[in-house]
Structure 1
Amino acid sequence: MEGEVAEVVDRGRHPDVVTPWDQQEWRTAALEWVAGELAAHGLRACGPRRVRLRPWSVLVRLAVGEGGAVWFKASPPAGRFEAGLTEALAGWVPEHVLKPVAVDAGRGWALLPDGGPRLADVLEAGPDDPRIWEELLRQYADLQRSLLPYAGEMEALGVPGARTAALPGVFDQLVAENGALTDAERATLHGLRPRLVRWCEELAALGIADSLDHADVHAKQVLVPAPGRFTFFDWGDANVSHPFCSFLVPAQRAVERYGPEVLPRLRDAYLEPWTGDGHTARDLRRALRPAWRLGALGRARAWGRLFPGAASTTALAGDPQSARSLLQLLDEPLV
Structure 2
Amino acid sequence: MRHEASTTVDRGRYEDAVTPWEEESWRTAAFGWAEDELAAGGLRVDGTWQVRVRPWSVLVRIPVAVGGPLWFKANPPASAFEGPLTAALARLVPRHVLRPLAVDAERGWSLLPDGGALFRDVLVRDEAGPGAWEDLLRQYASMQVALVPHARDLELLGVPSARTAALPALFDTLLAENTALSPEQRTRLGALRPRLVEWCEELASLGVPDTLDHADLHDGQLFHPEPGRFTFFDWGDAAVSHPFCSLLVPAQWAAERHGAAVVPRLRDAYLEPWTGHGRTAAELRSAVRPAWRLGALGRARAWGRLFPTATDTAAVAGHAAESLLQLFAEPPL
Question: With structure 2 as the length reference, what TM-score do the two structures score?
Answer: 0.98
2:238 maps to 1:233? no
Structure 1: runs of 5 or more not aligned: none
Shift of 1:3: 4.4
Identity %: 64
For 1:334 and 1:4, the matched residues in 2 are separated by: 50
1:134-155 deviation digits (Å, cap 9, x = unpaired): 0010000001000001110111
For 2:171 and 2:261, the matched residues in 1 are separated by: 31
Matches within 5 A, 1:203-242: 203-242=203-242
Matches within 5 A, 1:52-131: 52-66=52-66, 68-131=68-131
1:65-100 deviation digits (Å, cap 9, x = unpaired): 235200000000101111110110100100000000
> Contact 1:244 / 1:292 at 8 angstroms: preserved in 2?
yes
Shift of 1:127: 2.6
> Contact 2:70 / 2:111 at 8 angstroms: preserved in 1?
yes
Shift of 1:264: 1.3
> Contact 1:5 / 1:47 at 8 angstroms: preserved in 2?
no
- Hey, what does 1:326 align to over in structure 2? 324
Tell which deviates more after alignment, 256-265 or 294-303.
Answer: 256-265
- Hey, what does 2:8 align to over in structure 1? 8
Shift of 1:226: 2.0
For 2:4 and 2:184, the matched residues in 1 are separated by: 56
- Hey, what does 1:278 align to over in structure 2? 278
> Contact 2:20 / 2:26 at 8 angstroms: preserved in 1?
yes
Cα root mean square deviation, aligned: 1.1
For 1:76 and 1:231, the matched residues in 2 are separated by: 23
Shift of 1:4: 6.0
1:212-264 deviation digits (Å, cap 9, x = unpaired): 00000011001013211100000000010000000000011111111111111
- Hey, what does 2:303 align to over in structure 1? 303
2:161 maps to 1:161? yes
For 1:242 and 1:313, the matched residues in 2 are separated by: 29
Matching residue's letter, 1:320: G
For 1:5 and 1:234, the matched residues in 2 are separated by: 28
- Hey, what does 2:198 align to over in structure 1? 198
SS at match of 1:179: coil
For 1:313 and 1:177, the matched residues in 2 are separated by: 11
Structure 2: runs of 5 or more not aligned: none
For 1:68 and 1:222, the matched residues in 2 are separated by: 17
> Contact 1:213 / 1:246 at 8 angstroms: preserved in 2?
yes
For 1:182 and 1:123, the matched residues in 2 are separated by: 38
1:134-189 deviation digits (Å, cap 9, x = unpaired): 00100000010000011101110111100000000000000000000011100000
SS at match of 2:59: strand
2:158 maps to 1:180? no
- Hey, what does 2:189 align to over in structure 1? 189
Shift of 1:312: 3.9
For 1:28 and 1:276, the matched residues in 2 are separated by: 53
> Contact 2:300 / 2:321 at 8 angstroms: preserved in 1?
yes
> Contact 2:64 / 2:70 at 8 angstroms: preserved in 1?
yes
SS at match of 2:46: strand
SS at match of 2:112: strand
For 2:40 and 2:3, the matched residues in 1 are separated by: 22
SS at match of 1:162: coil
Question: With structure 1 as the length reference, what TM-score do the two structures score?
Answer: 0.97
2:248 maps to 1:248? yes
Matching residue's letter, 1:131: G
